[in-house]
């Protein structure tokens, strides 16, 4: 059993209405794609859709086991990637070892704590409107862009926090 990181200890929730909206979308997208709506998939998607923490596969696994003690970690992985392929989730690329998933598909930006790895969304109309410099579009087609702000989160400032290898 791995040591829990700070951000894994304090699950925050997405508001209920939004979760229901995401679940509906899941059901219609899945049906349309001819993908079966299994109990596992529902529960796993709900776990991600209801979290604001950008959980890892293992975090989702832990969140889901009380309700569904027989799931296997590999089903969680397969389901998360399936949901990503269906366009229902987005991944953030591994930070400190593990890929992290999110169900927030709206344009937004990220705050990353380099101490504990906490990763939170924030909105900013001003940043949404950033121009893409030609220095960037020179490399190829541009699909999206967002700002990543790095720092030390309030919890870590206060606690000292278990300092894992930061990524600068």
Contact footprint for a copy of itself (CB under 8 A): 81, 84, 90-97, 99, 109, 111, 113-114, 118, 120, 122-124, 126-127, 130-133, 135-157, 165, 167-168
* Contacts (CB under 7 A) with DNA, residues 50-69: 56-58, 68
Judged by CB under 7 A, the residue of 24, 87, 97, 154 near DNA is 97
Given the DSSP bridges, would you call strands 109-113 and 101-102 parallel, antiparallel or unpaired? unpaired
Question: With helix as H, strand as E and coil as C, how does 91-112 read?
Answer: ECCCECCECEEECCCCCCEEEE
Q: Residue written as tokens 């889901």? A: 64
Instruction: Note whether 151 binds DNA by CB under 7 A.
Output: no
Retrieve residue 142's tokens. 């541009």
Instruction: Note whether 166 binds DNA by CB under 7 A.
Output: no
Other CB atoms within a 10 A radius of the CB of residue 16 amount to: 9
Residue 79 touches which member of a copy of itself, DNA, none, C-beta under 5-8 Å by kind: DNA
What is the enclosing helix (H) or strand (E) of 113? strand 109-113
Q: Per CB under 7 A, which region of 12-20, 35-43, 111-119, 141-149 contacts DNA? A: 35-43
Cα distance between residue 63 and residue 44, in whole Å: 9
Q: Please measure the distance between the N-terminal and C-terminal CA atoms of the chain and give it in whole angstroms.
A: 27
Residue (107 or 110) nearer to DNA, CB: 110
Residue 159 touches which member of DNA, a copy of itself, none, C-beta under 5-8 Å by kind: none
Q: Residue written as tokens 């059901």? A: 27
Cα distance between residue 57 and residue 79, in whole Å: 10
Instruction: Note whether 6 binds DNA by CB under 7 A.
Output: no
Instruction: Note whether 79 binds DNA by CB under 7 A.
Output: yes
Instruction: Note whether 32 binds DNA by CB under 7 A.
Output: no
Question: Least distance from C-beta 164 to DNA, angstroms?
Answer: 10
């Amino acid at each position: 059993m791995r040591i829990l990181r700070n951000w894994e200890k304090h699950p925050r929730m997405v508001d209920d209405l939004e979760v229901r909206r995401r679940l509906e979308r899941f059901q219609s997208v899945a049906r349309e794609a001819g993908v079966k709506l299994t109990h596992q998939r529902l529960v796993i998607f709900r776990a991600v859709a209801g979290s604001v923490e950008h959980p890892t596969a293992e975090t989702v696994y832990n969140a889901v086991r009380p309700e569904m003690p027989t799931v296997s970690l590999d089903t969680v992985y397969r389901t998360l990637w399936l949901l990503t392929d269906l366009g229902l989730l987005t991944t953030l690329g591994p930070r400190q070892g593990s890929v992290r998933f999110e169900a927030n598909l709206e344009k937004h930006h990220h705050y990353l704590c380099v101490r504990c790895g906490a990763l939170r969304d924030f909105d900013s109309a001003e940043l949404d409107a950033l121009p893409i410099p030609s220095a960037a579009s020179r490399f190829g087609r541009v699909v999206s862009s967002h700002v990543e702000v790095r720092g030390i989160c309030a919890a870590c400032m206060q606690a000292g926090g278990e300092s894992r290898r930061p990524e600068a």
